[in-house]
Amino acid sequence: MTPPPAHWLERDELGHLLALIRGDGYRLIGPTVDGAAIIYDEIEGVDELPVGWTDEQAPGRYRLRRRDDDAIFGFAVGPHSWKQRLFPAREPLVQIRRDGDDIRFSAARADPPPTAFIGVRACELAAIELQDRVFVRGPFVDHRYAARREACLIIAVNCVEAGELCFCASMGTGPRVGPGYDLCLTELDGGFVVEAETEAGAALVQRLDARAAADAELTARDAGLDSCRQTMGRELDTEGLPGLLFGNLDHPRWTEVAERCLACGNCTQVCPTCFCFDVKDVSLLANAETARERSWDSCFGQDHSTIHGAVFRPAIADRYRQWLTHKFASWTSQFDASGCVGCGRCIAWCPVGIDVTEELSAIRSQDPKPAIELPRPQVWWPREDDPLVPAPARVLEVQPETPDTVTLVIERTTAVREEPGQFNMLSLPAIGDVPISVSGSGEDFVEHTLRGVGRATKALSELRPGQRLGVRGPFGSRWPIELAKDHPLTLIAGGVGLTPLRSAMQQLAANPDDYPAVRLFYGARSAADILYDTELLAWDSLPSCDVSVTVDQASRRWLGNIGFVTRLLRRKELPLDGRYFICGPEVMMRQVLFLLDEAGVPKSHRFVSIERNMKCAAGFCGRCQYGPYFVCKDGPIFRHDHIDFIFGQPGF
Amino acid sequence: MKQALRKIRLLCDLDDGQLERIAAIASIERVKTGDIVVEEQGPANSIRAVAEGRVSIAVSVPGRGELPVCTVSVGEILGWSALLPQARWLATARAVKDTTLIVLRGAALLDLYEQDRELGYRVMHRTFETVAERLHDTWLQLMDSYRQ
């Protein structure tokens, strides 16, 4: 491919370029000195750019300093990144209006004005491209992000000087700006080498007083880039890093760094690729109107991993490890690229000066265990519908199951039929939405069994027939029922873990020719907590099904089994060619998997359902991460051998 | 009797000769649903295995009555207290189905262990396995893990 023709733009012409862009209706966002930092803000022209300024950076340190010359782009990067512009720190996702029992959900549109980003560095363009992978190249498209992305014109800048904390050369993201820009400038003495990549960029060059760049200017550009590459303040060996990190989850360095880390989350806020967010309902005017808003979140916060009051990453060491393994390892499985672009912001803005390059080198050099192989990334074909906007649905029926559990029969809102094991997000205005497994479905209805334990599930469990709620989904993976054809199949459920297995059981029971030997082992808290008792009896009466139930606590009136569900399994044969579907609390699943290990059942024959903190359910918000996976899109049903390196591992 | 003994996990490692010696000290007990098999506080003299049916093990709690803590099913044992010196039953066992039990007198069984140390080792090894599993399952029950 021939490189785009390069032009030479005199230094004084930069103002002309910015004026042209403004004249075309773009607002300009560019670097500008504000207080003691160079930030990205709305500018009108060259005067507001940080002419003659540079930044000095070190771990935990960032200072502005006057340069000896009047370079315009003679600095590295400040606390801002373009993330603020494309993925704002706070924004409404859904507007919800309640009118009596009627609820309407509408997408909050971004409607962004055309915006030109002035001075996008190579590492930053790479970061934008990485966030594109999250928001537009997953199973769904985030339309707000996509609209802003569509509306931006990118004027990039090649770096000819490296900062003290830069390591883009190690990450393969710079210093030369990669594809994805409209215009790219290289600042040299007296002017700029200008390269256009898009028609919009080329059209701008044509309107400028720019001549073809001379060979000497191109040589100077390349020399600048080379010198920058060779003077990077930091270096990182990325060879085999993902497998190395996951092979060393118990490395002592995690504890050492946790002693210094304050878990403040600064690193995640300044990181141009971190994308985790939280979603909350903000109510206006007596709950008639509610805005469902997202705001940046950080994996250093406790709420990030909390479900039903249980914190999955309680220690700072867990959270630091989560961040670093995500950035440098899980990203590769999730998005087919490292999540780090080597900008060095997390080092400068860490109040205690933790240096990721140093931490990673320490793990590599201090008695590392062998690397392990991580899952390959999936390729997604994004669905166009907005996954974050619920559809209003009417409750058709409410079936009480136990004193604190009900099954909601809800009218179907989508043409997509839920598969056993998948889940929907159920929501109510001002309360928010929660993931609930599909427990059954028919042509025009879907069933969800839920226990009122938290605010949202309590409110949902109090719904009455005729009332409305929001439904979005279905999301996630399903029980691979077809793999169990011609094999004995054993379903093992604990507590409400029976709900995602119920719809599987319904299908299995209805197809005895394909599934002639199905066993269900079900452990409940007490006789009063047994779900679907009539159905359990009906399944047990079928020649193709065998149902065993046990309870943890019983009164004298209970004549069935008492004891943990593992006791039922110990009494039965566990065939090696059998398939096993397991769902329940993780402690229960772990014990069941031990028994299957003892029996010698291959891990590839076992499937488990994992629960983590799902918020968006569409693969955007990052809160349900489970090692290299997102539970919402890669799970919740996983094959055991795909997760056994993190299953039961504290902190994941 | 030997056929019935073969189905008891406690005895699954024994050879024919050893099983015959066990059979010589074994008797059959049949109980109806609701019948008490052994009663808390009573002298613990025999270990039992369930050949058919199901037995619940319950502890008396003042003010709450009998509180069942686990059930014992086909192939499993109850009453290992009988292997301890001068033991008393720590719980009441009650049939929750019509049940057939194989009864092994504790003193006779201990005598057999003395005479045939290998038999003793094999049976005690399985007894320990059962006790360990039962203890472990009890931890899990105590966790009340389905509450959330």
Tens of pLDDT along A496-520?
Answer: 999 999 999 999 999 999 999 999 9
Q: Which of B54, B94, B138, B146 to mutate to test the interface with A (most CBs of A within 10 A)?
A: B146
Residue A594 forms contact with B (CB below 8 Å): no
In 10 A of CB A76, how many CB atoms?
A: 26
- Contact across the interface for B69 and A523, Cβ inside 8 Å: no
Give residue A283's pLDDT. Answer: 87
Contact A572, A599 (CB under 8 A): no
Give residue A511's pLDDT. Answer: 96
User: Mean pLDDT, to the nearest integer, of B90-98?
Assistant: 95
Residue A581's nearest CA partner among A647, A508, A651 is A508
Q: What band does A618 get if pLDDT is binned at 50, 70 and 90?
A: very high
User: Mean pLDDT, to the nearest integer, of A237-262?
Assistant: 97
Superfamily of domain A391-475: Translation factors (2.40.30.10)
Residue B60 forms contact with A (CB below 8 Å): no
Residue B73 forms contact with A (CB below 8 Å): yes
Give residue A43's pLDDT. Answer: 97
Task: Name residue A545's beta-bridge partners.
Answer: A518
Q: Furthest-apart CA pair in chain B: how many Å? A: 52
In a 13 Å sphere around the CA of A251, the CA atoms on its Cβ side amount to: 26
Q: In whole angstroms, what is the distance from residue A637 CA to residue A112 CA?
A: 38
B26: closest CA of chain A, how far (Å): 23
Q: In whole angstroms, what is the distance from residue A524 CA to residue A405 CA?
A: 13
Share of chain A above pLDDT 90, in %: 89
Residue A15 forms contact with B (CB below 8 Å): no
In A, which residues are within 8 Å of B140 by CB distance? Answer: 564, 566, 587-588, 591
User: Between these two residues, A185 and A111, which has the higher pLDDT value?
Assistant: A185
Q: In whole angstroms, what is the distance from residue A273 CA to residue A583 CA?
A: 34
In 10 A of CB A362, how many CB atoms?
A: 16
Residue with token string 């968006």? A616
Please say if the pLDDT value at position A166 is more than 60.
yes
- Measured CA to CA in angstroms, residue A165 lies from A63, A124, A222, A271, A612 at distances of 13, 15, 22, 13, 35
Q: What band does B148 get if pLDDT is binned at 50, 70 and 90?
A: low
Residue A495 forms contact with B (CB below 8 Å): yes
Give residue A176's pLDDT. Answer: 97
B38: closest CA of chain A, how far (Å): 16
Residue A571 forms contact with B (CB below 8 Å): yes
Q: In whole angstroms, what is the distance from residue B80 CA to residue B47 CA?
A: 6
User: Mean pLDDT, to the nearest integer, of B76-102?
Assistant: 93
Residue A559 forms contact with B (CB below 8 Å): yes
- Contact across the interface for A552 and B74, Cβ inside 8 Å: no
Give residue A100's pLDDT. Answer: 82
Give residue A110's pLDDT. Answer: 82
Q: pLDDT, tens digit, for every residue of A16-49? A: 999 999 999 999 999 999 989 999 999 999 999 9
Please say if the pLDDT value at position B54 is more than 90.
yes
Q: In whole angstroms, what is the distance from residue A376 CA to residue A502 CA?
A: 31
* Lowest pLDDT segment from A255-264, A364-373, A622-631, B60-69: B60-69
Residue with token string 């015959």? B20
User: Between these two residues, A68 and A2, which has the higher pLDDT value?
Assistant: A68
Give residue B27's pLDDT. Answer: 96
Please say if the pLDDT value at position A385 is more than 90.
no
Q: In whole angstroms, what is the distance from residue A129 CA to residue A119 CA?
A: 16
Q: In whole angstroms, what is the distance from residue A587 CA to residue A609 CA?
A: 12
Please say if the pLDDT value at position A284 is more than 80.
no
Q: In whole angstroms, what is the distance from residue B35 CA to residue B96 CA?
A: 8
Residue A560 forms contact with B (CB below 8 Å): yes
Give residue A558's pLDDT. Answer: 93
Instruction: Please give the single-letter amino acid code of residue B60.
Output: S
Q: Which of A404, A457, A499, A556 to mutate to test the interface with B (most CBs of B within 10 A)?
A: A556
Q: Which two tokens stand for residue A63?
A: 């200072």
User: Mean pLDDT, to the nearest integer, of A251-271?
Assistant: 97
Q: Which two tokens stand for residue A644?
A: 């056994």
User: Mean pLDDT, to the nearest integer, of A173-198?
Assistant: 97
In A, which residues are within 8 Å of B144 by CB distance? Answer: 525, 552-553
Q: What is the ipTM of this complex?
A: 0.93
Instruction: Please give the single-letter amino acid code of residue A4.
Output: P
Q: Which two tokens stand for residue A324?
A: 């670093």
Contact A389, A92 (CB under 8 A): no
Q: Which two tokens stand for residue A505?
A: 């059981």
Instruction: Please give the single-letter amino acid code of residue A490.
Output: T
- Measured CA to CA in angstroms, residue A208 lies from A7, A9, A17, A180, B99 at distances of 10, 8, 7, 21, 98
Contact A175, A159 (CB under 8 A): yes
Q: In whole angstroms, what is the distance from residue A105 CA to residue A289 CA?
A: 10
How would CATH label the architecture of A481-609? 3-Layer(aba) Sandwich (3.40)
Q: Which of B99, B135, B140, B142 to mutate to test the interface with A (most CBs of A within 10 A)?
A: B140
Closest in A523, A524, A562 to B71, CB measured: A562
List the single residue in A with minimal CA-CA distance to B93. Answer: A556
CA A20 to chain centre: 38
User: Mean pLDDT, to the nearest integer, of A390-409?
Assistant: 96
Contact B141, A552 (CB under 8 A): yes
First to last CA, chain A: 45
- Contact across the interface for A555 and B58, Cβ inside 8 Å: no
Strands B36-38 and A545-553: unpaired
Residue A645 forms contact with B (CB below 8 Å): no
Residue A557 forms contact with B (CB below 8 Å): no
Q: Which of A402, A453, A457, A564 to mutate to test the interface with B (most CBs of B within 10 A)?
A: A564
Q: Which two tokens stand for residue A249?
A: 């989850």
Q: In whole angstroms, what is the distance from residue A611 CA to residue A583 CA?
A: 10
- Contact across the interface for B145 and A559, Cβ inside 8 Å: no
Q: What band does A384 get if pLDDT is binned at 50, 70 and 90?
A: confident
Please say if the pLDDT value at position A1 is more than 60.
no
Closest in B68, B74, B143 to A558, CB measured: B68
Alpha helices in A431-524 (DSSP H): 455-461, 498-510
Contact A122, A168 (CB under 8 A): yes
Share of chain B above pLDDT 90, in %: 86
B98: closest CA of chain A, how far (Å): 11
Q: Which two tokens stand for residue A444?
A: 């025009």
Q: What band does A2 get if pLDDT is binned at 50, 70 and 90?
A: low
- Contact across the interface for A566 and B137, Cβ inside 8 Å: yes
Please say if the pLDDT value at position A294 is more than 70.
yes
Residue B75 forms contact with A (CB below 8 Å): yes
Please say if the pLDDT value at position B109 is more than 60.
yes
Closest in A529, A561, A591 to B146, CB measured: A529
User: Which domains are present in chain B?
Assistant: 2-107+115-130 (2.60.120.10)
Q: Domain segments of chain A: what residues? A: 6-230, 391-475, 481-609
Q: Which two tokens stand for residue B121?
A: 């080792």
Give residue A109's pLDDT. Answer: 86
Closest in B56, B133, B143 to A562, CB measured: B56
Residue A572 forms contact with B (CB below 8 Å): no
Q: Which two tokens stand for residue A619?
A: 């693969």
* Lowest pLDDT segment from A428-432, A518-522, B97-101: A428-432
For chains A and B, CB pairs below 8 A equal 76
Residue A590 forms contact with B (CB below 8 Å): no
Please say if the pLDDT value at position A285 is more than 70.
no
Average pLDDT of chain A to the nearest whole number: 95
Closest in B71, B74, B146 to A563, CB measured: B71
In a 13 Å sphere around the CA of B68, the CA atoms on its Cβ side amount to: 29
Please report the beta strands in A466-610, taking only residues with DSSP state E, as ranges in sequence order. Answer: 468-475, 489-494, 518-526, 545-553, 561-562, 579-583, 606-609
Give residue A19's pLDDT. Answer: 97
